[in-house]
Structure 1
């Protein structure tokens, strides 16, 4: 179940797969997919199931079909490493995806920009759209609200009987939202919310504010 959210008088939707949809712009924000990571680990002998490669593409199709966005903006770390066998899968996915695709580069995006440009994907260090700043690393810019990734945010919850859960989340402060890592073969980093922070955890295919 998705969750609506209003920021600076603009309407957004948080999706439990891990993306944010900006209604007026028909823009889907996704961060830290880390495509190619499975192939990268398998190359060096890690016993990662080959079928894990396809999981991200299934989820990408699901969220794109849900919103049918005009444009998709990846907020960095789209591809995990240098070119490997998964690049061809990515090319095929881009070819069949009707949305325009742009990339805000992250620290893992080391593939030559020319490879992305050949697919019609422009790359930016950051983007300013109206009152919003789109980056990979968390950033502060006066008067702008920042959408970013990089952190792979999660929170730790404690229930009765000493039960503990670590859940990925959308982590919102007064001036910033850190998106969860979209990629399913990634780790998380636990953040400690402050008084005015808002945390939207992803649990059982639902976005829940805690």
Structure 2
């Protein structure tokens, strides 16, 4: 789905990503590389297929949009370098010419040399590219920049005619900020309270659907 946001054209992908054509930028959040391995280390059996699926989806987006830059608005890595992260290392080598920018989230605790080894440009707080601010969590006080954030893993409930309900990940666009769905499939959903004028874009298996508050 193509939308207009602050005079800029953005493409919302059902693979939980935003593409900004004029900048040739792919924008995602909450990739959580290493989360499944972290759980396995704690004795919780989560298949490695989770991490592989996320990287396969990211690869498909590379071929679909051919971006120059990948922006991750936080929680790119879940904790430390582990077996799942090793899979990302191979992915990074495959797309060595891609510029990768990370705005740090609460789970991004790798050492500086780890990011350098993966050729990832790190921003501690935010990245300003007019008219957008890329940041992990939405600022308390709005300003002239429109914030594009992650962290919350937004979801929406769609109600059917027979009173059935389905939950889907979604893109949220409010007055002052947007929230990107978690890219990783191994995450929960937070149903957001809507205010008048808010826009939700539900990600169904087939397509992105616009829902007005």
Which range, TM-score by smaller chain?
over 0.9
Counterpart position of 2:18: 20
Counterpart position of 1:76: 74
CA deviation profile, 1:121-162 (whole Å, cap 9, x unmatched): 111020000211000011244111110000000012222222
1:206 aligns with 2:204: no
CA deviation profile, 1:79-115 (whole Å, cap 9, x unmatched): 1112211221111111111321110000000111221
- CA displacement at 1:189 relative to structure 2: 0.5
Question: How many angstroms apart in 2 are the aligned matches of 1:138 and 1:205?
Answer: 29
Counterpart position of 2:101: 102
State the secondary structure of the residue aligned to 1:122: strand
State the secondary structure of the residue aligned to 1:47: coil
Runs (4+) off by over 3 Å: none
Counterpart position of 1:169: 170
Question: How many angstroms apart in 1 are the aligned matches of 2:161 and 2:151?
Answer: 32
Counterpart position of 1:193: 194
- TM-score of the two chains, using structure 1 as the length reference: 0.95
Residue pair 2:32, 2:75 contacting (<8 A) in 1 also: yes
Residue pair 1:36, 1:53 contacting (<8 A) in 2 also: yes
Residue pair 1:155, 1:192 contacting (<8 A) in 2 also: no
Counterpart position of 2:130: 130
Question: How many angstroms apart in 1 are the aligned matches of 2:179 and 2:160?
Answer: 25
Q: Which moved more, 1:32-41 or 1:157-166?
A: 157-166
Question: How many angstroms apart in 2 are the aligned matches of 1:157 and 1:50?
Answer: 31
Number of positions where the alignment pairs a residue of Structure 1 with one of Structure 2: 208
State the secondary structure of the residue aligned to 1:24: helix
1:150 aligns with 2:151: yes
Question: How many angstroms apart in 2 are the aligned matches of 1:92 and 1:15?
Answer: 24
- TM-score of the two chains, using structure 2 as the length reference: 0.94
Structure 1: which 5+ residue stretches go unaligned? none
Q: Which moved more, 1:136-145 or 1:170-179?
A: 136-145
- CA displacement at 1:193 relative to structure 2: 1.6
Question: How many angstroms apart in 2 are the aligned matches of 1:175 and 1:105?
Answer: 21
CA deviation profile, 1:19-56 (whole Å, cap 9, x unmatched): 11111111111000111111111111112123222111
Counterpart position of 2:184: 183
State the secondary structure of the residue aligned to 2:162: helix
